Structure 1
């Protein structure tokens, strides 16, 4: 009632992450009502989907962790001295599953302990890559509301974005529409947004991971809709919002695609970050060269170590440039400045590059596919196994196509200098190329993977930072793939931000990226239905 005297009731965040109000009975002649503030009844969970290698994995049979990203030291200890054969046998897509037991990254607004974090799926993703972001996102969306419950404060998470134009600061590629005061209040007053995370088996095809994500989305929605306290079900939940990083974008798109997860009706919208939408030439590089520096100790120092996992993992292979990637991205040339002596593909990268077994510029060396003897023991030709995986990859790329859930928001890296990426992959010879394209195409390698000797010439992959070969990016995903959703997604993509100043894996620790993500969530909540 207007003007009625009330007494505030102390409210705290309970051990299950949900607000709890505690009071005592009063005499019947005491007519002062108790007053407590509650969460909105409509729950729209924010579900984070990580990038490749950003999900913790365990062995299906033993339940022992095989890939746990809790700390750099832990990863070095776990993988620093593993042989190619061990890598193949341990990281077998068919024997791996998501491990929910990752380290607790710490408390946040609605996650008071490790038990709630596990229930929210935080343990399925890499603490060292995403732990701080999950805590930041949950605090940003919910801490002011939780403070208002306890202390009487009340400030929308989007208050600082209201009626401001971030088009230049965030590099907007479409007409920028500010978040209005009305939109901020609509999102703040009507929706509770707890933060969840869903890891996936990044070794298997993203098509299957999309189906798995769709099943988890249904489970999350049911958990909130069925939540009961005092015999009542206080919350309504019908949809989630997805926030993806890197390959998680492919998984999220597959989850909402009618041929895979088919859960579009359960997803209000998606915020994609640093997605290799059409693949990345870096995947070819790593197969021929391994990874450099500290990363190489964990992910593979050379072609043999990387191929042992890559050739058996459709998920990893689906990061290769697909048919929508710019043509002629694989080149061979010398330092004379002449036109490349070799340029591929003309149309089909699967048939023209990935399926080639013998030429020196092939993706995979057959000798590196089965170091553990897994295929040999089962009577399977390793190259046939690889070709089967490749066919699955091509089918997924074709099936997903240029599909984007409506509505979608995008951000990606477009830095130069140290964050440049392989857009084209250039094999360069320090001596003049004395043969024509046909001879160079058909030539077999004499030795090496990178550099490789062929017809008496030594070819080496050019560093992307070398003059003349730069393409802006985030160190992994080149602009030609990061900008693809904006160019190919049509009306489903509502905004795309071309940003600078961060490296691929650490993107969600960048302030601009975080703010653009929070802004996107605010925009997507305008599409959510108040239940």
Structure 2
């Protein structure tokens, strides 16, 4: 009987599979030589899609039993924020005291001696990846269960960063990429994409996309491993700072694969929502300047030039949960005061507001169906809306900004963050990585706050609506305001937030997503329907279009040797 040999590199890689047979056996033997080249897939999640923990000092100050402050997979834990006031939210989700909650089974930095990193990452379980075991390969497979150093597939996935992101939201994408991209093409899941018109996944007509041929698929995939990694980032801090931290992690990732004896030169980036802003800054020559290490980028539901929903949520909280939607976004702030206490002190959150490129007139004031005015009027939302102090329709209610009475959380610091957002938007401009593909919601049935409308009550008879002063605010879109009249009299009126409108995905309006069409660096666009923003990567068309784009990007790889 033949005996299988596994010849491993000292570094952990495998040279080949072969068999030892009797010398009398002259039958030819097949030697299976696995690929030595690796193109890692790096996924960057959206805002609130990365798990966060606090410093030891802040944990002590808060009196928490562990250091986790944002772990959306464990709704039972993070759900306690629903009953947490704005002041404690501000202390919990403070960009100066938080960091990504990474997996480290050796030191177990959970802030709780009774909780291991594996327990913290326990939601990364029952991984559905059907790849064969292959010693020394970079595939996401479990090691044999013997010896003290054996690893399960779940532990390997946690080591890939799968546990530092909102796993229940992104697991389908991560598993689909890992399984599909590393399965043999013949009769494998990728083979079903051969000859399929990209229009089946709602490809836009320009730039034109062609069906994949078998030769194109073979050229792109053969000889390469595509291990899938996830990298969280501190979504409270500036996306520029996040890009710099992701750059260091990608550089280390590439070097690690090289140390294991593989060829590894570039990565492919896949993003969700805010992660796209991080990726654009990551590649930008005047920011993290990493374009040469990125083979290509796939952006999903990117708020390319911001989203008015960010304004709406800071004033009125997150929307009521609808059927099938995840409750986690609402946990960050059921009311405007709760959201403002966090995002008003967050450089990253403010970078999601509409930029100059979004244009004028998206904030509207109406009375009896008549439009009184709209803002911005002069192309500067930062000064005309975000930093306003004396207008009821401005972004910030100052009394909501610093409920924890932190000495540094001042209105001046907030204005500095707004200025940083303007600089970030201006520098980012229309820059995209030279090989970019995008997909986003263009669904009329998913109203997406293309504009934000304040409706003044029909009984209002005043003349100086600009000068109305808020006397009551339910923090969810219902205001009572007064106008000071001559003789000391006061005119009371009510103001309410109008409904969401405009095609998109309930968060990013088409008006923002379509801006990507202006860039010559965008090589393919999918304008899709049928999904809500956070759940976009649970949609089959979004998943298939992402795989198509990865293949197109991989086909452009040229190795240096």
Aligned-pair CA distance for 1:447: 2.5
Aligned-pair CA distance for 1:295: 4.5
Deviations 1:505-525 (A, max 9, x none): 010010000000000000001
Distance in 2 between residues matched to 1:165 and 1:297, nearest whole Å? 38
Task: Verify: 1:513 aligned to 2:546, yes or no.
Answer: no
Distance in 2 between residues matched to 1:98 and 1:31, nearest whole Å? 58
Contact 1:7 1:34 in 2 (8 A): no
Look up the SS of the partner of 2:356 in the other structure: coil
Distance in 1 between residues matched to 2:529 and 2:504, nearest whole Å? 8
Residue equivalent to 1:88: 90
Residue equivalent to 1:126: 166
Distance in 2 between residues matched to 1:66 and 1:100, nearest whole Å? 13
Deviations 1:166-211 (A, max 9, x none): 2254142411222222210101213211111110000000011111
Structure 1 residues without counterparts, runs of 5 or longer: 1-5, 146-153, 228-232, 465-469
Residue equivalent to 1:495: 524
Residues 24 and 40 of structure 1, relative CA distance in 2, 3 Å threshold? closer
Task: Verify: 1:443 aligned to 2:468, yes or no.
Answer: yes
Residues 275 and 296 of structure 1, relative CA distance in 2, 3 Å threshold? closer
Q: Alignment length, in residue pairs?
A: 495
Residue equivalent to 2:503: 472
Residues 43 and 203 of structure 1, relative CA distance in 2, 3 Å threshold? same
TM-score (norm 1): 0.87
Aligned-pair CA distance for 1:114: 2.5
Residue equivalent to 1:356: 388
Contact 2:6 2:18 in 1 (8 A): no
Look up the SS of the partner of 2:469 in the other structure: coil
Correspondence 1:251-270 to 2 at 5 A: 251-270=278-297
Contact 1:49 1:197 in 2 (8 A): yes
Residues 402 and 216 of structure 1, relative CA distance in 2, 3 Å threshold? same
Residues 261 and 484 of structure 1, relative CA distance in 2, 3 Å threshold? same
Task: Verify: 1:484 aligned to 2:515, yes or no.
Answer: yes
Residues 443 and 400 of structure 1, relative CA distance in 2, 3 Å threshold? same
Residue among 363, 387, 394 paired with 2:415: 387
Residues 384 and 296 of structure 1, relative CA distance in 2, 3 Å threshold? same
Distance in 2 between residues matched to 1:189 and 1:405, nearest whole Å? 25
Residues 7 and 266 of structure 1, relative CA distance in 2, 3 Å threshold? farther
Residue among 280, 283, 301 paired with 2:310: 283
Residues 493 and 12 of structure 1, relative CA distance in 2, 3 Å threshold? farther
Greater Cα offset, 166-175 or 50-59:
166-175
Residues 321 and 399 of structure 1, relative CA distance in 2, 3 Å threshold? same
Distance in 2 between residues matched to 1:365 and 1:168, nearest whole Å? 46
Task: Verify: 1:208 aligned to 2:238, yes or no.
Answer: no
Residue equivalent to 2:456: 429
Aligned-pair CA distance for 1:23: 6.2
Distance in 1 between residues matched to 2:87 and 2:188, nearest whole Å? 53
Residue among 391, 398, 402 paired with 2:426: 398
Superposition RMSD in Å: 2.6
Contact 2:386 2:396 in 1 (8 A): yes
Residue equivalent to 2:399: 367
Aligned-pair CA distance for 1:344: 2.7
Structure 2 residues without counterparts, runs of 5 or longer: 60-65, 104-120, 132-138, 142-152, 321-326, 484-491
Residue equivalent to 2:323: none
Residues 42 and 296 of structure 1, relative CA distance in 2, 3 Å threshold? closer
Task: Verify: 1:305 aligned to 2:325, yes or no.
Answer: no
Distance in 1 between residues matched to 2:19 and 2:187, nearest whole Å? 29
Distance in 1 between residues matched to 2:243 and 2:556, nearest whole Å? 23
Distance in 2 between residues matched to 1:429 and 1:444, nearest whole Å? 13
Deviations 1:226-268 (A, max 9, x none): 11xxxxx2x2000000000000000000100112211100000
Residue equivalent to 2:50: 55
Residue among 398, 414, 425 paired with 2:442: 414
Residue equivalent to 1:65: 68
Aligned-pair CA distance for 1:297: 5.4
Contact 1:71 1:127 in 2 (8 A): no
Distance in 1 between residues matched to 2:540 and 2:383, nearest whole Å? 42
Higher helix share: 1
Look up the SS of the partner of 1:305 in the other structure: helix
Residue among 502, 524, 530 paired with 2:553: 524
Residue among 180, 186, 190 paired with 1:140: 180
Look up the SS of the partner of 2:453 in the other structure: strand
